Amino acid sequence: GTRPYPCEQCGKGFTQPGALRRHQRTHTGEKPYECRACHRAFADTSTLRRHAAVRPRRRESCEPFSMKAATRIYNSPVQGGDPAAPSQPLLSLISRDLSFPGTRPYPCEQCGKGFTQPGALRRHQRTHTGEKPYECRACHRAFADTSTLRRHAAVRPRHLASHLCFRCETCAQTFANRCNLRSHQRHVHSSERHFPCELCAKRFKRGKDVRRHVLQVHEGGGQRHQCHQCGKGLSSSTALRLHERTHTGHKPYGCPECQAKFSQPSALKTHMRIHTGEKPFVCDECGARFTQNHMLIYHRRCHTGERPFMCETCGKSFASKEYLKHHNRVHTGSKPFKCEVCFRTFAQRNSLYQHIKVHTGERPYCCDQCGKQFTQLNALQRHHRIHTGEKPFMCNACGRTFTDKSTLRRHASV
């Protein structure tokens, strides 16, 4: 996540110098790329290419003339012959020429915008009429065109009626299949613990919970290679050598893109996915993608309801060990992350990052519709729904929809 190239104007960071240069043009107003056809200027080549794709150059050899004059010439008799047959009107013969790039023969009567095809005009007219003829069969939300409906379905690939068939009778949570429902009931609601630990007689719901308990609690679980610094047991000499770098700080593997360094080659490989955009781990339940396998494992627990890590103080359970560690700070009062400006402390690192923006005034997330700026990406995403009208959170009791979870929770509490 290192961004070594900061903008001096607003402090926003970038992973590559080229991205920084492009961003700086938003402050300077520089537009070095010009369209040869209309001489309009642009800040970057991608915007110029999009402009060229929408407005290609007209054919310079084609001189405009009136349809009336063309029809008169077409219908006039040729020397030694008769006028053209009326069954072949001129318009049908030259319609292919009316639709060449640059010509827009179908204008909107409301706003005057032109289109190359009648279908495109019909879709556009729905922005004026508000008509939304395409409905999602799962949630009955309506859309103006099929492409928007397809995008909606792609975000929720299993957004079908069958998705709501399997409901937990204890907590009313719904699941895509019976297997996930049973897994949820077994791990969340069942009090049965059939798997005992041979070393301390503590009992667990699953065999793998016993194995994890033995490794975490009972002195390294028989691992042969011990770290002299912290006493941690490792399964091999290679694992021990890699672990020792956490104490020495040795990071021999450097990222060629952003100068970040890592102690293990696997960590570098994972980091490189930030630059490539690769997300090879896919949830077969909802299609969500992740850069790391453990993130997918945690995510899948959203569908199953599984929370294998339990707080020994209050009994609350969590989907990952990291979440449990964060939660434990509620009981201990530990706030290890300190602001260097005002010395305020925080329990979570991310809370500190968000707090620092109070001092810097940084609002790196900007709405492309109205220009409003935000300190956090999720705040921008919530704000976007004001413009799109999207309300993805539905009340199971009355069917009313909301733009965000907090509004749904307030509604449910009333």
* Every domain of the chain and the residues it spans: 5-44
pLDDT digit string (tens) for 157-180?
445 433 445 677 777 666 666 777
As a whole number of angstroms, the longest Cα–Cα distance in the chain is 111
**In which residue ranges of the chain is pLDDT below 50?**
56-68, 83-88, 90-101, 157-158, 160-164, 221
Angstrom distance (rounded) from CA 15 to CA 269:
16
Angstrom distance (rounded) from CA 64 to CA 166:
65
Query: What's the pLDDT score for residue 399?
Result: 84
Whole-angstrom CA distances from 262 to 180, 219, 228, 230, 365 are: 37, 28, 22, 21, 29
- CATH architecture for segment(s) 5-44: 2-Layer Sandwich (3.30)
Angstrom distance (rounded) from CA 292 to CA 298:
10
Query: What's the pLDDT score for residue 396?
Result: 84
Angstrom distance (rounded) from CA 56 to CA 74:
29
Angstrom distance (rounded) from CA 215 to CA 204:
14
Query: What's the pLDDT score for residue 207?
Result: 77
pTM: 0.33
Angstrom distance (rounded) from CA 322 to CA 81:
89
pLDDT digit string (tens) for 296-311?
888 888 887 777 788 8
Query: What's the pLDDT score for residue 216?
Result: 67
Angstrom distance (rounded) from CA 85 to CA 58:
31
What lies within 8 Å, CB to CB, of 111 at 6+ separation is: 128
Angstrom distance (rounded) from CA 254 to CA 262:
6
